[in-house]
Chain A
Amino acid sequence: MRKFASVLIALAAMALSQPASAALQVDVNQGNIQPLPIAIPDFVAPAAADAAAGQNIAKVVRADLERSGLFKPLDPKSYIDQISNINVAPNFQNWRVITAQGLVTGQVAMQPDGRLRVDFRLWDVYGESQMLGLQYFTQPTNWRRIAHMVSDAIYQRITGEKGYFDTRIVFIAEAGPPLKRVKRLAIMDEDGANPSFLTNSYLVLTPRFNPTAQMIAYMSYITGKPRVTLFDLETGRSEKLGDFPTMTFSPRFSPDGNLVAMTLETAGNSDVYVMDLRTRKSTRLTYDPAIDTAPSFSPDGKQIVFESDRGGSQQLYVMNADGSNQHRISFGEGKNGTPVWSPRGDLIAFTKQAGGQFGIAVMHPDGSGERILSNGWEDEGPTWAPNGRVLMFTRTIRGGRGSQIWSVDVTGRNLRRVATPGDASDPAWSPLIQ
């Protein structure tokens, strides 16, 4: 009897261990990369006075997602349904008809305390389920930031990566004739809104954000000699960094914001230094007689990538944050400079000069997998979005007739010009605003 029982158990175990009933296996290893069709109707406003805010927020969200190249917001004129209540499930069939795969419904309502309340839901049109639902309270004047935060939340839910819409860009605004060019420090939202000048008419270059996006380091000619300067966005105060007798330039904050790596030029020799902002003590990291410059920290702060011509031509090198283990990582054709480590850590972006052109390229930190993302008459000076997915850079028009800021996806797709008020160069992308 016991034997019979054990046979039964064995048979049952065999039956349970059979694979899934589906015998047909389909391997899909090709795709059709397309932006996600998404419908974003104007946010509902129960009070007529809030209707404009509802329309404006939806408009900014549509523009944000479209700009990323990963979404295709559908024309509101094509909508069959009108959303009147965001607390009931939409009629998904009517959104499928217009090919929407995602649907965003939202509502704005002014609160008795004077704050604006914004609710939104992201729906999976085919799965007929809610993917996300969030609520924000803010001062009515902050509606643009709320719109960017809504965009970031949608972007993250769909792509798995944090968004980058609630960020700012600091850049050099250029004006005037070529011989009397005025280069001022300017700042704007990621979508080009709210531009403003931070400095007056003196020459500044290479601005960089600190990790809290409250401080900017840049090179200034305000005293006639190039000096790395710190600018506090909250107070508007600026301060010369260190008391060096000679030129300092090319600053970059460490990921924790406590250090600034920069280049110090002495008697024609440039080397990389690090200054601790807490003690104002500086440490020299490179001692090569060649030009070592453009340092950039890895996101864990343990390594620094920089450019050097110690090997005969301008190439990329990586070293530990204490200056040890300096080794070359770029060996391709042409010259490579202005490296920037991705916030994601997987790539280093740089300017590649080859074949009479300047382009933006990326490679892995070990030097493998080099890919060209843009190629122009003069594309240079990349800066990463905080999610490591998108890059901005300066594009100089052929013949040096003005400069513009452009952006490109890390895949090389979605190359487009960034809206700026006039000529602009040297962009630096802030982290997500806290």
Chain B
Amino acid sequence: MRNRPTAERAAPRLGVVASVALHVGLAVALFVSFSKKIDLPVDSTPIVPVDLVSISDKTNIAPQAIEQKPVENTPPPTPRDVAPPPTPEAAPPKFELAPDVKPQPKPEKPKEAEKFDINDIQKLLAKKTPAKTATRSVQGVGAQTAMTADLASILMSEIYHCWSPPTGSPHPERLIVKYEVFLNRDGTVAQPPQLAPESASAASSDPYMAAAAGAARRAIYTCSPYRLPPDRYAQWRNFIVNFDPRQLEQ
């Protein structure tokens, strides 16, 4: 067997060497970089002052008034009653051109009721018919109960400052106290807060719970008067507050 000439063996060796050199060069070029200062544009965002405005009074849509006619004690309508036959009185009115005469304004007789007698205010008030007050009987979205989160947030931020919760008790997780609070229109406490039955029964048997109820009660009183939107008094005139010390550091 004859050996291949040397040149035949040398040619592929050169190719391999060149290929390896080029690959190494490429790898080096990829890994090595020269430091260069890159000037990125400074994106300075202007500070825009923003006022946070509560729009819950706008979004808390009142219910559409649903007029409910009083149910009369009449027998159900018969098919004949539903479609009464037309009568001659029901004929469409005729349109006629009015004569070109200016109507003379009638001299109006002054009404006695419009006279203002400062000495007889009582009488005037007596004649005044009481304004009809709309009673809202529809619950749900229209009852304006779903949008009281902002009121709850206001009350929470006021009450927690006043609440010195019980600390160091062996079972803080048991000391959740629930009160119903009644407020006057000026934000003062209208009547003694009412302890929820479950809290009251726990407080009667557990001195720690009794102390927790006392601390909650003091918080309700010391926070008075509450600063709440007067126009929404109907929503905050009474509310339930849960004092929960579980998340507090004991």
Contact indicator per residue, chain B 186-197, by CB within 8 Å of chain A (1) or not (0): 000000100000
Is A156 close to B, CB under 8 A? yes
* Contact of A31 with B245 in the complex, beta carbons under 8 Å: yes
A24-B235 contact in complex given A31-B165, A32-B160, C-beta closer than 8 Å: yes
CB distance from B153 to the nearest CB of A (A): 9
SS class, residues of chain A in contact with chain B:
loop
Is A239 close to B, CB under 8 A? no
A23-B244 contact in complex given A36-B164, A158-B214, A159-B211, C-beta closer than 8 Å: no
Is A26 close to B, CB under 8 A? yes
Is B44 close to A, CB under 8 A? no
Residues on A with beta carbons closer than 8 Å to the beta carbon of B60: none
Residues on A with beta carbons closer than 8 Å to the beta carbon of B249: 411
Interface residues on B, range: 35 or more
Residues on B with beta carbons closer than 8 Å to the beta carbon of A25: 152, 239-242
Q: In whole angstroms, what is the CA distance A32 to B249 when docked? A: 11
* Contact of A27 with B156 in the complex, beta carbons under 8 Å: yes
A29-B244 contact in complex given A22-B238, A22-B239, C-beta closer than 8 Å: yes
Contact indicator per residue, chain B 136-170, by CB within 8 Å of chain A (1) or not (0): 00000000010010011001100111111111111
B residues 177-211 touching A (CB-CB < 8 Å): 180-181, 192, 206-211
Is B247 close to A, CB under 8 A? yes
Is B222 close to A, CB under 8 A? yes
Q: In whole angstroms, what is the CA distance A26 to B223 when docked? A: 14
Is A346 close to B, CB under 8 A? yes
* Contact of A126 with B160 in the complex, beta carbons under 8 Å: no
Residues on B with beta carbons closer than 8 Å to the beta carbon of A236: none
Q: Which residue of A lies closest to B175 (CB)?
A: A160
Contact of A32 among B145, B161, B242, B244 (CB under 8 A): B161
* Contact of B222 with A126 in the complex, beta carbons under 8 Å: yes
Q: Which residue of B lies closest to A387 (CB)?
A: B168
Is A389 close to B, CB under 8 A? yes
CB within 8 Å of A: which residues of B?
145, 148, 151-152, 155-156, 159-170, 180-181, 192, 206-212, 214, 217-219, 221-222, 235-236, 238-250
6 closest A-B pairs (Cβ-Cβ)?
A160-B211, A126-B221, A24-B239, A31-B165, A160-B207, A346-B170
CB within 8 Å of B: which residues of A?
20-36, 101, 124, 126-127, 131, 156, 158-161, 344-346, 388-389, 409-411, 413
